[in-house]
A and B are shown apart, each in its own frame.
Chain A
Amino acid sequence: MMKEKIYINAAAQIVSGSEEPDYRQFITPMEARRMGKLMKRSLATSLIALREAGIEHPDAIITGTFLGSVENTEALLMSLTGVVDAPLKPTNFMQSTHNTVSSMIGIRTASHGYNATYSHGLTSYESALLDAILQLELSEIENALVGLSDELSPTFEMMLGKIGVKGCEIASSMVLSRKGENALCRIADFRLSHGKAAYDDAQNISADIVLEAPAGYVDGAKMIAQGSCASVLVLNGGRNFDDTSYTLLVKADNE
């Protein structure tokens, strides 16, 4: 689908078990108290990626999330169903809506541009990426901050386990741009598809992201948690993009 050249200029992410950054760089202790781990991590990866890309106010902020803030949703459900004897808190409700992360980044970076959130199961991140690519193709924007945010709680993990879904925690941010002087790599192709006949149990959703990058510059472009959260690219190092090098195909089949 790619007519325009679209580059990934910066990326940052935090996954389960990886080292957490020093949040004091990004948020005050007072803010931290009101933010769950999902918001803290997503704010950190967003601000790191924007800083590396040298962008203060991205033209678009687009986030994908499978379940949004599980901590806040769970707190509300526990209270509603009487599992805990506590009144519902407005903060829990505000932060349980899936667009909390995108809008928080908008508020934090004072960005009045395009702002959206996708929640489409295992292809939430790819949906966000699709939107960004379409806007870059249509020249509606010059750059976009695209992210994936998900968190887990022991209860949600057990719940998902009952239907054979292995969740994972992730905050991932990338800056996409039509300018690629210092790009990590170029998105060479992108496809997202859905196919299922009426009342057919076999669901087939696939997403292909084709990246081109010079060998040696991108030392790690691999998928995290395939079949659990989404395909997420870990991009390290690399500058001085030269698009004549090799093609790397990252493929996610969530069946």
Chain B
Amino acid sequence: MQRRILISGAGVVSAIGLDKSQTLDSLRAGKTGVAKVSYLATDRTEFPVGEVRLTDSQMKGMMGIPEDKVVTRTSLLGILALREALDQAGLTREELAGAAIVGGTTVGGMDTSEKFYLDFINPETDAHSEYIAAHDCGSTTDAIADHFGGFALSTTLSTACSSAANAVILGARLILCGQAEIVAVGGSECLSSFHVNGFNTLMILDREQCRPFDATRAGLNLGEGAAFLILESEESALRRGVKPIAVLSGYGNACDAFHQTASSADGEGAYLAMTKALQMGGIEASDVDYINAHGTGTPNNDASESAALMRVFGDHIPPVSSTKSFTGHTTSASGSIESVICLLAMENGFIPASLGWKEPAEGCIVPVAENKESICLKHVLCNSFGFGGNDSSLLFSKP
């Protein structure tokens, strides 16, 4: 990599915590956030989900947003996470004015669109029309950006479950090209009846807590949340006197080019994404100390990802875990939420368990079943794969 991309701030909100400290505690205690649905209005109560334990009103209250202001749940989650990241990075208003923001979402304002849809499509009424402008993905990122003000550039990736990981990649490119010194990158997604029902049509939701890489795995649990990282050029961090948390030392994006919603048996897209990230980072496969897998818990994903891992790492696969049994699959936000989990693991020297894993599965890797403590993690790989074979891998290293 020509220039080093530093990470100077991180913020996260998910079913296992409203910030990094709560998230760390839950990971270390092996406490899942996946439970029976209680916040989302849905008839599909048979599927456990990972919900953020706050109502929209509570989030607005926490952030001083007027109750009647139109801000969707996806944006509120993003604002909460970005606030923590900006605080850690210690950015001033002036510094923020020149910064860029790259968000990732697929659902966007769908939770309010489905709620007010009958009014939307009724030409006789203007009721709830203010929510129409909050429907699309880009408006989500703009609402997050505009809460803080500033941001000279705002854009949004929408590559399904790898959206946030791809947002990290674009942010890195903006810095590498000298287009920005500071970029807030991440993703945000709330649960909606739209995607709970949508995923159900694909028959990939488990009625029990998900068990990635386990022989009895039967699907995924959906989750919600957001996370943002502050990427910064080395020059800027030096000038501001900021100590980086970690370095984004490599990234890879590749297309499985196999099927709209299924992964190939040999995991070609995942293999290429991981290989590119390692190449860019200038490290060998054997240098990787931990992999946070995409590991959704569906029979197809975990088998395909395992095949790709075996191709990249051969007989020496580093410790792997999927933290989706903690958070649920937070879809578009998962790439950034799991990136923050990787940073927490690196900073605190531990590997989070692949909760719920019991029995080895044929053709699958054996994940870390119990937390490993007192481990020095120098290089960590974070995988995010999406529908359409949009596969991305991020490589984080100790500064």
Are the C-beta atoms of A80 and B194 separated by less than 8 Å? yes
- Give the chain B neighbours of A1 by CB distance below 8 A: 177, 179
Interface string of A29-67 (1 = CB under 8 A from B): 000000000000000000000000000000001000111
What is the size, in residues, of chain B's interface with A at 8 Å between Cβ atoms? 70
Q: How far is the CB of A88 from chain B (nearest CB, A)?
A: 5
- Give the chain A neighbours of B307 by CB distance below 8 A: none
Are the C-beta atoms of B145 and A107 separated by less than 8 Å? no
Q: How far is the CB of A175 from chain B (nearest CB, A)?
A: 17
Q: Does B61 contact A (CB under 8 A)?
A: no
Are the C-beta atoms of B255 and A106 separated by less than 8 Å? yes
Q: Does A223 contact B (CB under 8 A)?
A: no
* Contact partner, B118, options A83, A90, A93, A199, Cβ 8 Å: A83
Q: Does A228 contact B (CB under 8 A)?
A: no
* Contact partner, B179, options A112, A118, A134, A160, Cβ 8 Å: A134
Are the C-beta atoms of A112 and B269 separated by less than 8 Å? yes
Are the C-beta atoms of A114 and B120 separated by less than 8 Å? no
Surface stretch bound by B, among A11-19, A119-127, A178-186, A232-240: A119-127
* Contact partner, B121, options A96, A118, A134, A155, Cβ 8 Å: A155
Within residues 114 to 152 of chain B, which ones have a CB less than 8 A from any CB in chain A? Answer: 114, 117-118, 120-121, 123, 126, 129-130, 132-133, 135-139, 141-142, 145-152
- Give the chain A neighbours of B260 by CB distance below 8 A: 94-95, 100, 103-104, 107
Q: In the complex, what residue of chain B is closest to A114 when comparing beta carbons?
A: B253
Are the C-beta atoms of A115 and B158 separated by less than 8 Å? no
Main secondary structure on chain A at its contact with chain B? Answer: mixed
Cα A29 to Cα B45 with chains together (Å): 40
* Contact partner, A127, options B113, B117, B152, B155, Cβ 8 Å: B155
- Give the chain A neighbours of B114 by CB distance below 8 A: 77, 80-81
Q: Does B390 contact A (CB under 8 A)?
A: yes
Surface stretch bound by B, among A187-195, A212-220, A241-249: A187-195
Within residues 115 to 171 of chain A, which ones have a CB less than 8 A from any CB in chain B? Answer: 115-121, 123-124, 127, 130-131, 134-135, 137-138, 155, 158-160, 162-163, 165
Interface string of A188-227 (1 = CB under 8 A from B): 0000111111111001010000000000000000000000
Cα A227 to Cα B159 with chains together (Å): 25
Are the C-beta atoms of A77 and B113 separated by less than 8 Å? yes
What is the size, in residues, of chain A's interface with B at 8 Å between Cβ atoms? 68
Number of A-B residue pairs, CB cutoff 8 Å, is 209
Q: How far is the CB of A195 from chain B (nearest CB, A)?
A: 7
Cα A35 to Cα B253 with chains together (Å): 26
Are the C-beta atoms of B156 and A89 separated by less than 8 Å? no
Q: Does B198 contact A (CB under 8 A)?
A: yes
Q: In the complex, what residue of chain A is closest to B201 when comparing beta carbons?
A: A90
Q: Does A113 contact B (CB under 8 A)?
A: yes
Q: How far is the CB of A138 from chain B (nearest CB, A)?
A: 6
- Give the chain A neighbours of B76 by CB distance below 8 A: none
Are the C-beta atoms of B154 and A194 separated by less than 8 Å? yes
Are the C-beta atoms of B201 and A115 separated by less than 8 Å? no
Q: How far is the CB of B37 from chain A (nearest CB, A)?
A: 16
Are the C-beta atoms of B257 and A81 separated by less than 8 Å? no
Within residues 197 to 215 of chain B, which ones have a CB less than 8 A from any CB in chain A? Answer: 197-202
Q: Does B106 contact A (CB under 8 A)?
A: yes
Are the C-beta atoms of B389 and A107 separated by less than 8 Å? yes
A94-B260, A110-B257 in contact; A117/B159 too (CB < 8 A)?
A: yes
- Give the chain B neighbours of A120 by CB distance below 8 A: 137-138, 141, 154-156
Q: Does B240 contact A (CB under 8 A)?
A: no
* Contact partner, B152, options A95, A193, A200, Cβ 8 Å: A193
A120-B138, A134-B179, A163-B132 in contact; A115/B155 too (CB < 8 A)?
A: no
- Give the chain B neighbours of A194 by CB distance below 8 A: 142, 145, 151-155
Within residues 277 to 316 of chain B, which ones have a CB less than 8 A from any CB in chain A? Answer: none
* Contact partner, B256, options A80, A112, A197, Cβ 8 Å: A112
- Give the chain B neighbours of A68 by CB distance below 8 A: 158
Cα A195 to Cα B176 with chains together (Å): 22
Are the C-beta atoms of B268 and A80 separated by less than 8 Å? no
Q: Does A9 contact B (CB under 8 A)?
A: no
Are the C-beta atoms of A97 and B387 separated by less than 8 Å? yes
B-to-A contact residues, CB < 8 Å = 2, 106, 108, 113-114, 117-118, 120-121, 123, 126, 129-130, 132-133, 135-139, 141-142, 145-160, 166, 170, 173-174, 176-177, 179, 193-194, 197-202, 253-261, 268-269, 272, 386-390
**15 CB < 8 A contacts A-B:** A93-B201, A93-B202, A98-B158, A107-B260, A110-B257, A112-B272, A116-B157, A116-B159, A116-B390, A120-B137, A120-B156, A134-B179, A162-B132, A198-B148, A203-B146
A-to-B contact residues, CB < 8 Å = 1, 61, 65-68, 76-77, 80-81, 83, 88-90, 92-100, 102-104, 106-107, 109-121, 123-124, 127, 130-131, 134-135, 137-138, 155, 158-160, 162-163, 165, 192-200, 203, 205
